[in-house]
Amino acid sequence: MNLVGKYIGSRYEILEIIGKGGMATVYKAKCHVLNRMVAVKVLKEEFTTDEEFIRRFNIEAQSAAGLSHPNIVSIYDVGHEGNIYYIVMELIQGKTLKEIIAEDGALPWKWSVNIAIQIASALEAAHKNNIVHRDIKPHNIIITEDGVAKVTDFGIAKAVSNSTITAFGTTIGSVHYFSPEHARGGYTDAKSDLYSLGIVMYEMVTGRVPFDADTPVSIALKHMQEKAVEPMKLNPSIPVAVNQIIVKAMQKEPSMRYQSATEMLKDLSLALKNPEGKFVSESSMDTQATQRIGTITEDMAKEKIEGKREKKKQGKLKTYFKEHPKMKILAVILSFILVFLITVFTVKGIMDATTVKNVYIPNLVGKTQAEVEQALEGTKLTYEVAGEEYSSEVEAGRVISQDPTYKNNFTIKENTKISLVMSKGIEVVTVPKVAGDTYEDAEKKLVDAKLKVERVEETSQKIEEGIVIRQDPTENTSLNAGDTVKVYVSIGTGIKQVAVPSLVNKTEEVASKELTDAGLKVEIVYEEDTTKTNGIVLKQSIDVGKVIDEGTTVVLTVNQIIETKSANIYVNVKSLTGGYTENINAEVSDKDKKVELRVTSGEDTIFKEEVDKNSTKVSTRQATGKGTVTVKVFIDEVKVAEKQIDLNTTTEYTFD
C-alpha cells in the first residue's frame, strides 16, 4: 500500500517514503494543523488483521507517547483510519547508526562511548516509566546532523508494572541484538535492553556484530550458548574500561549485567575520564546450595532407647492401677479423648494431603522435550504435545508455545496438563512463476505460497502497465516460508504524456513557447497566405487534444507574406560585346556602333533599346518581385548573361 499523495487523519499529507521495516513503512508528511513536517509510521497490512496485536500496538504507542527526553524521538499522535494504523513522530534529519557503521566501519571509541551515554540516558528515562524497548539496535538509533543520538521505535515497546515484560506473540526486533532470555522466549526487562546496548557498543567499536550465522535460529543459539570474542581482541585501540563495560553489559545471566541504565551510565562517564581504569565491578551469584544432614541413624538409636523405657513404664503402670482402681477409669476416659483428638487431626491431615495445591507455571517455550520433562520433574504437572508447526524463529524440536501461557508469578493447579506446540523448524517452499501476471495475481500466488512480496516499479517499452516484468528469485527456487520475493512491475514507458494544445492563429513566438513549456519540440515551416495575418500559425502537424509522448516534435506552418522589392540593374555593354575602336583611316558606321540591348526580369521585359557598343553602364529599369528573380541580358536577341538575384539582399546589380 503506497500512501504518497494521500491524507490520513484529515491532517497529515503523505509526501514520500523515507524508510521501510519488517513491521511498518515510514513516510515523510506535513501536518496541516500545526504546519510542521512529521514522520508517520504506518503498520503493514499483514499486521492489521490481528486484533490482539493492534490492541497491544495502541496501548504501547500511547504509553510511549508520554516519554519526553532529548535522546528519544517524540511521538505526537497515534490513530487509525480504516485498516491504516499509524504513529506520528518527530521528523529527524540524519542517518541511522547502522548506516554510519556500514559506511565507516569501526568508529572511534570516544565517539562510541558518547553515543552509548545518550542511548543509556534514553533507556534510563524509559525504564523509570516502566517501559522496556525490547528492540535496541543501530537501525533504531538516528544520529542527527549535530551528532545527537535519538532512539526511536519506543512505539512498539510494552509498558508494564514492576519493570518486567512478558514475551509473547510476534517477535519484534533483530536477532543479532537479542538478549539470551529474549532469544529463548523468556521474559525480558530493563536488563535485556542493556544487553542489546552492549551489542550495539560492540558493533560500534569493532565494526561487526559479536554473533552471526546463516539462520536466525543459529544466531539465537549463539546468544544463549557461546561467549563472544572480547572487542579489544578485534580492535586493540579500545581502552580497558570500555572493553570491560561492553563485556559486563553482554553477560548471558541478567544478574551478572548492569542492573540499571543509571549504573551503566556511571561507568560510561568514568570511562571518558579514565579509559584505562579498572573500576568496572564484576557481579557474582551465590551458588552455594544449602545441604540437609540426614538423621536416620540418630532416630534409630532413639527408637531403641524409647522402646526399653516404654516396657519399664508399662510394668510400673500395671502395679499402679491395681493399687488405685479409680485412676484406671480416669485413664480409660482420657484414652477415648486422646483417640478422638488423634482421629480429628488425622482426618484434617488427610484432607490437607488430598487438597490440590497451586504451583508456579514454568516457562517451557524454547525447550526440547527432554528439557521440558526435566523442568516439570517434581512439580506434579504433566504435558502433552498438541501439535507441530513450522517456525523461522524456533529451532526444530523445541517448544513454540504452551497453554496455559507462561506469565511471571502466575500459578496453576497441580496435576494440570500443559499443552505444547513443537517446532518443525523452518518451512521450505517453492517460488511460483509470476512473471507475466498482473501484480494482483502475482501477489496472491506468493502470499498463498507463504512468501512475502516486495513491489519494485520499472519502466518498460514492451510490457504494459501493471504486468510483472520479472521476479527475484526466479520460479522454482526454494525459499524459507516468510522470505521475500521481489516483483518488478511495469509502469509503462515511464514517459510523460502530453495533450497537444490549440496553436492555429497564434503567433509563432506564442505557439513555440506553449509547445516548449509542455515538453514538446518545435519545427517551423513557412507558407504564404495573403488573406491571413503575417506571422500567425496556419496549421499544426498534430491535432489538438491528442495525447503524445513528451519530447515529440510538432511542426508548425507559419504564414510568411513576402514583401515586393526592387533592384537597380546596370549593363556594361562594352564588356559584353567587346565594343569598337575608332579608325582615323576608316570611319565606323553608325550601324556598327549600335546594338539592341534587351533585359528581362522573370517573364517581363524591363528594358529594350539600341545602345552604343562602348557604353559601360547602361541603366535599365528596376527588377521588381518577391524573394529571388531571374534577370537575363540579350544583345541583338542573343542571351549573353543570366543571374538569380535575391531582392531581399540586393539593391543593385551590374552585368559586365
SS (H, E, C) 569-612: EEECHHHHHCCCCCCCCCCCCHHHHEEEEEEEECCEEEEEEEEE
More confident residue, 460 or 399: 399
Examine residue 473 and say whether the peptide bond preceding it is cis (omega within 30 degrees of 0): yes
Does the pLDDT at position 89 exceed 50?
yes
How far, in Å, CA of 646 to CA of 132, rounded?
92
CB 650: neighbour CB atoms within 10 A? 16
Given a contact cutoff of 8 angstroms between Cβ atoms, the answer to whether 536 and 560 are in contact is no
Q: Give the confidence band of 165 by pLDDT, cuts at 50, 70, 90.
A: very low
How far is Cα 259 from Cα 570, in angstroms, rounded to an integer? 114
Task: Report all structural domains of the chain as residue ranges with CATH numbers, in order of start.
Answer: 7-90 (3.30.200.20), 94-273 (1.10.510.10), 360-423 (3.30.10.20), 428-490 (3.30.10.20), 497-559 (3.30.10.20), 565-655 (2.60.40)
**What is the rounded CA–CA span in Å between residue 509 and residue 611?**
53
Highest mean pLDDT among 320-329, 417-426, 493-502: 417-426
Contacts of 433 (CB under 8 A, 6+ apart): 471, 475, 476
Residue 516: predicted pLDDT: 93
Tell me the three state secondary structure of residue 371: helix
| pLDDT at position 426 | 85
Give the burial class of 172: count Cβ atoms within 10 A of its Cβ; 0-12 exposed, 13-18 middle, 19 or more buried: middle
Distance separating alpha carbons of residues 457 and 480, to the nearest angstrom: 25
Residue 605: all three cell numbers together: 521585359
- The pLDDT > 70 percentage for the chain reads 85
27 vs 378, more confident: 27
Give the whole-angstrom CA distance, residue 2 versus residue 544. 35
523442568: which residue's cell? Answer: 375
Q: Map 152-215 to HEC letters.
A: CCHHHCEECHHHEECCCCCCCCCHHHCCHHHHCCCCEEHHHHHHHHHHHHHHHHHCCCCCCCCC
Question: Quick one: average pLDDT of 264-278?
Answer: 94
Helix (H, G, I), strand (E, B) or coil at 535: coil
Q: Where do we find the cell 504509553? A: 63
- Helix spans in 468-534 (H): 508-517
Instruction: Output the pLDDT for position 651.
Output: 93
Euclidean distance between CA atoms 393 and 389, whole angstroms: 11
Task: Give the model confidence (pLDDT) of 92-107 as tens digits.
Answer: 989 999 999 999 999 9
Residue 590 has pLDDT above 80, yes or no: no
Mean pLDDT, the chain, integer: 84
The pair phi, psi for residue 488, each rounded to 5°, is -95, 115
Task: Answer for the pair 149, 290: CB distance below 8 angstroms, yes or no.
Answer: no
* Banded model confidence at residue 210, pLDDT cuts 50, 70, 90: very high
* E strand intervals along 209-262: none
How does DSSP assign 433-470, residue by residue?
Answer: P-TTSBHHHHHHHHHHTT-EEEEEEE--SSSPTTBEEE
What gap in Å lies between CA 52 and CA 160, rounded to an integer? 16
Torsion of CA 55, 59, 61, 67, to 10 degrees: -170
Number of residues in the chain:
656
pLDDT band at residue 326, thresholds of 50, 70 and 90?
A: low
Q: Is the pTM of this model over 0.85?
A: no
DSSP-derived pairing of the beta strands 553-559 and 521-527: parallel
| Dist. CA 470–CA 434, nearest whole Å | 8
What confidence score (pLDDT) does residue 300 get?
Answer: 44
Residues ≥6 apart with Cβ < 8 Å to 66: 129
Three-class secondary structure of residue 542 per DSSP = coil
Provide the annotated active-site residues: 135
CA distance linking residue 322 with residue 155, whole number of Å: 90
Residue 20 has pLDDT above 90, yes or no: no
Q: Which amino acid is at 546?
A: K
Cell numbers of 250, please? 553482554
**Residues 615, 621, 624, 629, CA torsion sign:** negative
Nearest residue to 131 via CA among 53, 184, 79, 68 = 68
**Whole-number Å distance between alpha carbons of 652 and 620:** 11
The answer, yes or no, to whether residue 136 has pLDDT greater than 90, is: yes
Mean pLDDT in residue range 538-550 = 92
**Section 43-70 average pLDDT:** 78
Q: Is the pLDDT of residue 445 over 90?
A: yes
Instruction: State the pLDDT confidence band at 331, using cuts at 50, 70 and 90.
Output: low
For the ranges 33-47, 254-268, 350-364, the maximum mean pLDDT occurs at 254-268
Integer Cα distance of 357 and 77 in angstroms: 47
Angle of the 261-273 helix axis to the 190-206 helix axis, nearest 10: 30
